[in-house]
Amino acid sequence: MIKDDLIEEMLEQNRLQFREWLKDDVKAEFINGEVVMHSPVKRGHLEVTENLFPLLRMYVVYKKLGKVSVEKALVGMPRNDYEPDICYWTNQQAADFHKETMVHPAPTLVIEILSKGTKNKDRGVKFKDYATNGILEYWMVDYKKETVEQYKLSNKAYELHQKLSISDTIKCLTIKGFTIPVKAIFDEDVSLKTLRKLIQ
C-alpha cells in the first residue's frame, strides 16, 4: 500500500513536470506515466479536422451552447493528460474557463480521428479513460474508410450507438440539433453547404 502510494506520488510529480514543460508548439500527452509525442498527421486527418471542427464550433457558438476546441486543449484526467482532436464542453463545464486556462476538465463530447500511430490508444486507454471519467459521447472518425463510430456512455462504459458511412446522417447525442451528413466530415464542399444550413 505504501509502495503504491509512493508510485502514485511519483507519477503525479512527473505529470506536473510534464505540464510545466509543455509548450504551445508541442503536441504531447501524458499517458500512464509516459510522455507521448505526436508526429505530424497525414493529409486525410487534417482534412477531417478542417471540415468537422468549423461545423461543430460555429453551431455551438451560434446556439450559445458552450465551448469547442481543437487539438491543443489539454484535458486533465485523474492519471492522464490528453489532447483530443476535438472537444465540446457545455456552458456549465466551461463556466470557469479564462484566458490562462491550460488544463481543462473532462468534456461532454470527444472526437478522435484515427491514424496508424494513435488508433490503438484511441481504442484502448483513451476509450476506457474517457468512459471512466464521464465523457458522455465519443466519436472515432476513420478517414481512410470514411466512417464514424459513435459511442454513448452507459454505466461508465461505452456502447456502440451506431457506425455510419458516407451516405448516412449523424445526429449528435449531446449537442441538441447538431445533425450533419457524414459526407460533410470528408468533403469540403458538403461541409460548407452544411455550415450554411446549420447557422440559418
Structurally, the chain folds into a number of domains equal to 1
Residue 135 located in a structural domain? yes
The pLDDT of residue 1 is 56
Q: Is residue 2 part of a domain?
A: no
- Cβ within 8 Å of residue 147, ≥6 positions away: 141, 163, 164, 165, 166, 182
pLDDT digit string (tens) for 52-95? Answer: 999 999 999 999 999 999 988 999 998 899 999 999 999 999 99
E-assigned strand segments in 39-168: 66-70, 74-76, 81-82, 86-90, 103-104, 109-113, 137-142, 147-154, 157-164
Task: Report strand pairing: 86-90 vs 66-70.
Answer: antiparallel
Amino acid 2: pLDDT: 57
Q: What is the mean pLDDT of residues 4-11?
A: 68
10-35 confidence digits (pLDDT tens): 777 777 788 888 877 777 888 877 88
Residue 31 within any structural domain of the chain: no
| 21, part of any domain | no
**CA separation for the pair 96, 80 (Å, rounded):** 21
Confidence of residue 4 (pLDDT cuts 50, 70, 90): low
Give the span between the Cα atoms of 160 and 71, in whole angstroms: 24
| Domain assignment of residue 7, yes or no | no
pLDDT exceeds cutoff 60 at 3: no
Q: What is the pLDDT of residues 121-179, one digit of tens each?
A: 999 999 999 999 999 999 999 999 999 999 999 998 999 999 999 999 999 999 999 99
23 belongs to a structural domain: no
Give the residue among 185, 192, 193, 191 at the shortest CA–CA distance from 48.
Answer: 185
With respect to residue 106, please indicate whether it lies within any of the assigned structural domains. yes
CATH number (domain holding residue 75): 3.90.1570.10
User: What is the pLDDT confidence band of residue 188, given thresholds at 50, 70 and 90?
Assistant: very high
Tell me what pLDDT residue 118 has.
86
153 CB-contact burial (10 Å; exposed 0-12 / middle 13-18 / buried 19+): buried
| Mean pLDDT score, 186-199 | 96
Residue 141 is assigned to a structural domain of this protein: yes
Domain containing 188: what range?
Answer: 40-198
Could you tell me where the DSSP H helices lie in 87-199?
A: 119-123, 125-132, 183-186, 188-198
Task: Flag whether pLDDT at 196 surpasses 80.
Answer: yes
CB 43 within 8 A of CB 75: no
Query: Between 19 and 9, whose confidence is greater?
Result: 19
